[in-house]
Structure 1
């Protein structure tokens, strides 16, 4: 058994093709084919069914291939740890984050990280939580920073996640609203109110639960732009529901144009936020270092 054999097995399992794996690893098809055959003979088990349509893992080979994945990832981690730790961090990191993470939590983390590692490149996109999870599953990003509620983790055993903070839903009203001086708001008080809503599946589900239980609200519009939503609230056009962590150091809140008020007696008023990654994608030293910075930045907000 050789490490090269494990690398070939992992790449064939990823691509479902010996020819594509050979191209990706810059070796000949015969090299990979012979290595896999030798490995199968050594273990006395067939790992792949090979045909003109490609290479498909056999039922008995799937567990072996899974172990090969794990070993390949560990080898990459060992090789990277052999470097001079954080001082040699370089390259790039791909992130996707939900809007609630962006201000000020993520931007503060990025500023501190780039200050210490100015040559490191971070590619970051803002997306909705379901899209972030899909990006992680497809291997398009290294880390997703997302709302963790509503995800069937049992159906995605390849995912690893960690809750970093709990957010609470706040009712956001204009400073001219009759609710502006309230210490809290109950669901019953919001019946028939006009709202602007963030255009996300989890938010829509929460509002549906809310209206089914307590009564209707008039949805003026939905948007995936939180600045547009906050401007509508500040102008007194409607109220909205936003997470408290998305309102930290917010200029509308600081100026007093928006008053965030706790929503009580509603069972879905809290949301969990954290990071998620795939076991199948190498968890780089850079990614781990970035998460340290993120956790430190979050600890300062508590």
Structure 2
């Protein structure tokens, strides 16, 4: 049994594909196939069933693959300890964030991290929270920054998460709206209002529950592009619901084009935001260091 064999079966288990695993590990498909076959013969069990649908772990293979995950992660930790700060100086960190995430804080943390580690490469994508969780589970990204309320954690035992802060739902209106002069808004005042909404599961569910309880609102459109939503609000086409933390230092709010107003008398108008990672992927020194920067900027808000 060799470490390479363990790395191969871990990657195949992640991707459910020998060809994709070969691409990710920069080896030939035949190399991986032969290594798996040799390991299966050595252990006298079948680790995968192979078909045109891909490579699926067998029942008896799942425990072996789980232990292989643990060994590969430990080896990576040992290698990183030996390298100390080298990985931070020359490495890469893959992050995916929800558009609802506290983007101004995130960007400041990224800027300061990059300033201290100028040769370090950061790759950041913007996705919906469920898509972020899928990428984390598949080992495609190091850290996901998402709205934690949108996730069914019972279905994701392989994930580790931490809440970083709570966000409050605000009603966003144009400066020309009659609502702009209100100190706060009740749900009843929003009946029959035209709304542009963020295209996320929890937002859709919340709006649906809201209308069932208080009355109808006219949904103009839904989008996962918060800039498009804010543009529509600023032009008086509709109102919207956005998180207070996503509006910090926002240019529409600073210029007075958008007025955020507290929504009161609602059963729950708070959402939890935080980071998530997979237990199956090595929690790198770079990832841990970046989270320190992010938490530092969050602490300055408190």
TM-score (normalizing by structure 2): 0.87
CA distance 1:36–1:25, shift in 2 (3 Å): farther
In structure 2, what is the Cα distance between the partners aligned to 1:18 and 1:221? 42
**In structure 2, what is the equivalent of residue 236 of structure 1?**
236
Matches within 5 A, 1:75-94: 75-85=75-85, 88-94=88-94
Structure 1, unmatched stretches of 5+, are none
CA distance 1:49–1:262, shift in 2 (3 Å): closer
Q: CA RMSD in A?
A: 2.7
In structure 1, what is the Cα distance between the partners aligned to 2:235 and 2:56? 59
**In structure 1, what is the equivalent of residue 37 of structure 2?**
33
8 Å contact kept, 1:48–1:55: no
CA distance 1:66–1:261, shift in 2 (3 Å): same
In structure 2, what is the Cα distance between the partners aligned to 1:185 and 1:52? 58
CA distance 1:55–1:244, shift in 2 (3 Å): closer
CA distance 1:7–1:174, shift in 2 (3 Å): closer
CA distance 1:47–1:297, shift in 2 (3 Å): farther
| 2:227 counterpart of 1:227 | yes
In structure 2, what is the Cα distance between the partners aligned to 1:177 and 1:51? 61
In structure 2, what is the Cα distance between the partners aligned to 1:106 and 1:219? 30
Instruction: Using the TM superposition, give the Cα deviation of residue 215 of structure 1 relative to its aligned residue in structure 2, in angstroms.
Output: 0.1
What SS class does the counterpart of residue 113 from structure 2 fall into? Answer: helix
Deviations 1:110-135 (A, max 9, x none): 11011011111111111111221222
What SS class does the counterpart of residue 100 from structure 1 fall into? Answer: coil
**In structure 2, what is the equivalent of residue 158 of structure 1?**
158
Instruction: Using the TM superposition, give the Cα deviation of residue 55 of structure 1 relative to its aligned residue in structure 2, in angstroms.
Output: 6.1
What SS class does the counterpart of residue 59 from structure 2 fall into? Answer: coil
What SS class does the counterpart of residue 179 from structure 1 fall into? Answer: helix
**In structure 1, what is the equivalent of residue 59 of structure 2?**
59
Deviations 1:13-46 (A, max 9, x none): 44667788678475575555334433x26xxxx3
**In structure 2, what is the equivalent of residue 48 of structure 1?**
47
**In structure 1, what is the equivalent of residue 122 of structure 2?**
122
8 Å contact kept, 1:136–1:278: yes
In structure 2, what is the Cα distance between the partners aligned to 1:260 and 1:80? 46
Instruction: Using the TM superposition, give the Cα deviation of residue 148 of structure 1 relative to its aligned residue in structure 2, in angstroms.
Output: 1.1
In structure 2, what is the Cα distance between the partners aligned to 1:31 and 1:237? 61
8 Å contact kept, 1:89–1:285: no
In structure 2, what is the Cα distance between the partners aligned to 1:150 and 1:118? 34
What SS class does the counterpart of residue 273 from structure 1 fall into? Answer: strand
8 Å contact kept, 2:88–2:285: no
Structure 2, unmatched stretches of 5+, are none
8 Å contact kept, 1:100–1:246: yes
**In structure 1, what is the equivalent of residue 298 of structure 2?**
298
Matches within 5 A, 1:160-175: 160-175=160-175
Deviations 1:61-93 (A, max 9, x none): 322321221121121012112222378532212
TM-score (normalizing by structure 1): 0.87
In structure 1, what is the Cα distance between the partners aligned to 2:17 and 2:220? 51
Q: Which moved more, 1:77-86 or 1:126-135?
A: 77-86
**In structure 1, what is the equivalent of residue 274 of structure 2?**
274
In structure 1, what is the Cα distance between the partners aligned to 2:21 and 2:130? 30
What SS class does the counterpart of residue 162 from structure 2 fall into? Answer: strand
In structure 1, what is the Cα distance between the partners aligned to 2:194 and 2:32? 65
Instruction: Using the TM superposition, give the Cα deviation of residue 265 of structure 1 relative to its aligned residue in structure 2, in angstroms.
Output: 1.7
Instruction: Using the TM superposition, give the Cα deviation of residue 8 of structure 1 relative to its aligned residue in structure 2, in angstroms.
Output: 4.7
| 2:269 counterpart of 1:265 | no
